Structure formats: C-alpha cells, structure tokens
C-alpha cells in the first residue's frame, strides 16, 4: 500500500506585492484558511516582502515561506544576488529553482539550476524544482524527453535522502500565465511519467513519497479536478495566488476528502 502524500499548495507571487501589501494579504489569507489543516501551504512573495511576511507569520507552522530564486554561491562579490543563508535568516524554508521564467527570461541553464539545487539542499532549504516543456516541444512530441533531461540534469547522482527533500513542480510552459491549463488527464500523464522516471533515478520508495505539483493557470475552478488526480500532489499557483480569497479556495480544494 502506498502512503498518502500530504497535499502541498504554493503561491508564487512573482514580481507582485510590496512589503506593505503583504500585510493585508496575510490578514485576509489567514482568516480564509483558518480551518485548514492537513495541507502544506507555502507563500512565495518577492524577496523584499519576505522579512515583513516572516515577522507577521512568526513561528506559525501552518503557512511557510518560500523564495522565488537564490544564488548558487554562499557569499561574496555577487552584486544583486541573495544567498541561502540570507533566506534562512528570514525563516524561509523553500526556494523555487528553475522556474521557466528564470530559464527563459534570465538564461538559467540546467547546470545553473543544478548548482542552485545543491546549494539549497546543503543550506537546509527545500527546493521546489520546476520542470516543463514548451508548446513547440509538446507539439513535436518531445515533452517526455524534455522532462527527463531537465530532471536528470538537476538530480542525477544526488542521494535518495537529498532527492526526498525536493518538491517537483511540473509546469508546462505553454500553460503558465496563459489561461491554458493542461487537462487533468494531460497533467496526470505527465506526473506519472515524472514519478516513474524519478523511480529510475532514486528508487521507487523515494518516488512514491515525492510530491509533484502541477503549475500553469490553476484557478479555484480547475483546482478540484486537477488535485483529485492520483499523481498530482498539489499546485504551484501564480496569478490566482495574488487574491488571498481565490488562493484560499485552491487551498480548500486540497483538503483531503473522507
């Protein structure tokens, strides 16, 4: 029998929400999620709002913080970069690694993604590793090759213990911010493929325990069906996470059904 995986819902605010705006967001979001247990909730505001969010949340276990990016270097002359220890200092627990916007708009290569992932693991930050194919890659039936190569480049050679710290987010690039969600069947297929491949790289027990999130235009309306797929363990939400009430509805869709 496989162990049930606790659902994981993360909100990636991208370049939205100032430090003063995060306070009112949290007030509304905390009220709207008051009754939720049994779901891991992670908010990923911009760097400049993390300190404020951390101060407001205090040691609360229920809502954790994540960062959108991080340097692969520990410290030094890297103007404009933010290190893992700076994030840890603000009680940040998670970090997005390899988001498609970083890969596409800021030239992050598989190798850079790998370095960041390793640094995060060494620094006790849990990476949320994003992988996903573009529209052209899907149209030319290359999605599996792309998922395999992104995943292999990021985690091959890591120990099973390290791999089990990683949350994976399947984010088809064509579905991000476009309003085009993968159908639940398309997403389930990709998730199952990722889990099988993860099994090849790290063993089935790690693969069965690993959480694989879906990301790409998730809304309160699409969340229920997506989250009821057997291999979809949560969601990485962009646009719809900016409204605390809409995001709370997505969180509610992840509450385990009796």
The answer to the question of residue 212 lying near ligand PGA (CB under 6 A) is: no
The answer to the question of residue 180 lying near ligand PGA (CB under 6 A) is: no
Size of the site for ligand PGA (CB under 6 A): 13
* CA distance linking residue 238 with residue 10, whole number of Å: 9
Phi, psi of 236 (to 5 degrees): -110, 115
Of 137, 143, 171, 191, the catalytic one is: 171
* CA distance linking residue 126 with residue 70, whole number of Å: 12
Chain-centre distance for alpha carbon 222: 18
- Shortest Cβ 246–ligand PGA spacing (Å): 11
Q: Which residues contact 36 (CB under 8 A, 6 or more apart)?
A: 62, 248, 251, 252, 255
Find tokens 């992670």 and name the residue.
Answer: 42
The answer to the question of residue 69 lying near ligand PGA (CB under 6 A) is: no
* CA distance linking residue 205 with residue 234, whole number of Å: 19
Residues forming beta bridges with residue 64, ordered by sequence position: 42
Give the Cβ contact number of residue 246 at 10 Å.
18
191 tagged catalytic: no
34 tagged catalytic: no
* One of 157, 160, 177, 256 touching ligand PGA (CB under 6 A): 177
* One of 63, 82, 154, 237 touching ligand PGA (CB under 6 A): 237
The answer to the question of residue 119 lying near ligand PGA (CB under 6 A) is: no
Nearer to ligand PGA, 176 or 201 (CB): 176
The answer to the question of residue 106 lying near ligand PGA (CB under 6 A) is: no
The answer to the question of residue 46 lying near ligand PGA (CB under 6 A) is: no
Nearer to ligand PGA, 97 or 201 (CB): 97
Of 99, 108, 133, 137, the catalytic one is: 99
The answer to the question of residue 236 lying near ligand PGA (CB under 6 A) is: yes
The answer to the question of residue 176 lying near ligand PGA (CB under 6 A) is: yes
Number of alpha carbons in the 13 Å side-chain half-sphere of residue 82: 15
- Shortest Cβ 166–ligand PGA spacing (Å): 16
Write down the H helix ranges in 97-243. 100-105, 110-122, 135-139, 143-155, 160-164, 184-202, 204-209, 220-227
CB distance 141 to 180 below 8 Å: no
Nearer to ligand PGA, 121 or 238 (CB): 238
> What residues act catalytically?
99, 171
Q: Which residues bind ligand PGA (CB under 6 A)?
A: 12, 171, 176-177, 215-218, 236-240
């Amino acid at each position: 029998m496989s162990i049930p995986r606790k659902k994981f819902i993360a909100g990636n605010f991208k370049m939205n929400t100032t430090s003063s705006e995060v306070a009112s967001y949290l007030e509304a979001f905390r009220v709207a999620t008051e009754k939720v247990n049994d779901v891991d909730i992670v908010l990923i505001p911009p760097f400049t709002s993390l300190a404020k969010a951390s101060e407001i949340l205090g040691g609360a276990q229920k809502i954790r913080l994540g960062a959108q990016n991080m340097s692969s270097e520990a410290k030094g002359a890297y103007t404009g970069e933010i290190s893992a220890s700076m994030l840890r200092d603000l009680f940040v627990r998670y970090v997005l690694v390899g988001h498609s916007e970083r890969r596409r708009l800021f030239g992050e290569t598989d190798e850079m993604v790998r370095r960041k992932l390793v640094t995060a693991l060494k620094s006790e930050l849990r990476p949320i590793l994003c992988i996903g194919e573009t529209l052209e890659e899907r149209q030319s039936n290359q999605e599996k090759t792309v998922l395999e190569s992104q995943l292999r480049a990021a985690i091959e050679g890591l120990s099973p213990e390290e791999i089990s710290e990683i949350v994976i987010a399947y984010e088809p690039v064509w579905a991000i911010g476009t309003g085009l969600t993968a159908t639940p069947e398309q997403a389930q297929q990709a998730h199952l493929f990722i889990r099988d491949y993860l099994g090849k790289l790290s063993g089935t027990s790690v693969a069965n325990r690993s959480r694989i999130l879906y990301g790409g235009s998730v809304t309160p309306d699409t969340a229920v069906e997506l989250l009821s797929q057997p291999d979809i363990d949560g969601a990485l939400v962009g646009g719809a996470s900016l409204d605390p009430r809409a995001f709370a509805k997505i969180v509610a869709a992840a509450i385990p059904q009796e």
